Structure 1
Amino acid sequence: MTVPTPSLPAHDNPTVVRLFEAAADAFADKGFHATTTRDIASRAGLSPAGVYVHFASKEDLLFQLSRVGHEGARDALAAAAAEANSPTEALSEVISTFAQWHAEQYQVARIVQYEFRHLSPDHQREVLTLRREIDGVVEGIITEGVASGEFCVEDTRVTALAALSLVVDVARWYHPGVRRTPEDIGADYGRLVLRLVGAS
């Protein structure tokens, strides 16, 4: 089974995609607070006013990037879970692909995962809802595995959160100079999660 790999958020408007890419680069280089809309516009080849045609503010751009990114990840993982032949296959593939993405797209992943505190309370709540849906995909796989006798865990929710925490942490420590490739990391994490759930 091939799991679709999440990437930068897709959008029907190519200018919005350019702004997403420019914002991701700028936030990664300077951090959210030090980045200006002028920085983002310059990287996207637009005037500063061009940013406001599509986004109400710098915070709104960060929110939309986070929202669409989380939605893409949720949908890709849910599709992988639905296509798998067993909970063991589903969990291994989902975690492997998600870990590989966090390495390949480590700058974007750091922004999506760690710039969360800069969102407004309303936007934080919306992103948290999406994160809970992602958690639910993994928890659902583990619950099915326990029911089928493939997994042995006492608390499916805690185990799902532990597995996802390991994946998210890849974006924190990964950089292109490490010896292991993103593919190696994905494969390792796919095996590791099966040990975590006591796969038979």
Structure 2
Amino acid sequence: MEIFRTPSDMPMRKATSNSALAEPHSQVRNTALYLFAEQGFQKVSLRKLASALSMQAGSLYNHISSKQDLLFELIDEHETDLLDAIETNQLSDTTPEEKLLAYIRTHVDFNVRHACRRSITQLEFRNLSPEQQQEILDSRNLQANTLSNIIQQGVQRQVFDQMQLKTTTALLLAMLNEAASMISTDCNTALDDTIESLQKIIVTILRAGSAET
């Protein structure tokens, strides 16, 4: 049986430890999140962000170090929260196929429920520094490694066909990201129905030619 824990809608894992500053910082983050998603990172100046928060531009530096660091914080939070959700739903006493189903559901569901952050991670990654980009890539590699390990376990147990792991993993992640994007932009696309269809398609692909067990 597939077991899935739904992530909260807007987790704030990295709230500052100073409770007096936590709320203003969260307000800045949430406002920047939607402005970046709607208008693009380059078009949102500090003045525009401050105006949306009804404060002076210079006052923003009481809550953030820079606009680029704010962008990195939003993208990093999304990727690490997604990794946490994936790991939470990978139960040790389940089969490779059950792990795969849980991975697919977690990945798509999380990205749909956090559509603004997903959009920013995809479109604004290029605006990060090389060091920041590498940190994000490290998180994405851990997500990919989890999927690769699931596939490899299935191959070893002869429930999945032999395949090139790196290529297959990359293709499956591209499918999951595209599905999340499609659901987020099409109000007529049902989340559960799409996830279940995607699960069937991916399992069929991986089981092609493999021994039935």
- Which of the five TM-score ranges fits, normalised by the shorter chain? 0.7 to 0.9
Q: Structure 1 residue 123: deviation in Å?
A: 0.7
Structure 2, unaligned runs of 5 or more: 16-21
Instruction: For residue 50 of structure 1, report the CA deviation from its aligned partner.
Output: 4.2
Q: For the Cα contact (< 8 Å) 2:83–2:139, is it kept in 1?
A: yes
Supply the distance in 1 between the matched residues of 2:53 and 2:64 (Cα, whole angstroms).
14
Q: Is the 8 A contact 1:27 1:35 kept in 2?
A: yes
Q: CA RMSD in A?
A: 2.3
Q: 1:100 aligns with which of 87, 109, 120?
A: 109
- Distance apart, 1:46 and its partner CA: 4.8
State the distance in 1 between where 2:162 and 2:5 align.
Answer: 25
Q: How far has the Cα of 1:29 moved from its partner?
A: 1.2
Q: CA deviation at 1:114?
A: 2.2
Looking at structure 2, the residues matched to 46 and 196 of structure 1 have their Cα atoms a distance apart, in angstroms, of 54
From the CA coordinates, give the structure whose radius of gyration is larger.
2
Specify which of 145, 162, 167 is matched with residue 176 of structure 2. 167
1:1-200 equivalent positions in 2, closer than 5 A: 1-5=3-7, 7-10=9-12, 11-12=14-15, 13-44=22-53, 46-83=55-92, 85-198=94-207, 200=212
Q: Contact 2:108 / 2:177 at 8 angstroms: preserved in 1?
A: yes
> For each residue in 1:168-187, what CA deviation from the matched residue of structure 2 results, as whole angstroms up to 9, or x when unmatched?
12354444544212222222
Residue by residue over 1:75-126, the C-alpha shift from the partner in whole angstroms, topping out at 9 and shown as x without a partner, is: 1112212356111111111112211232333222111122111111111111
Amino acid at match of 1:2: F
Percent sequence identity over aligned pairs = 23
- What SS does the aligned partner of 1:195 have? helix
Deviation at 1:74, TM superposition (A): 0.9
Of 161-170 and 41-50, deviating more is 41-50
Q: How many residues align?
A: 200
* TM-score normalised by structure 1 residue count: 0.87
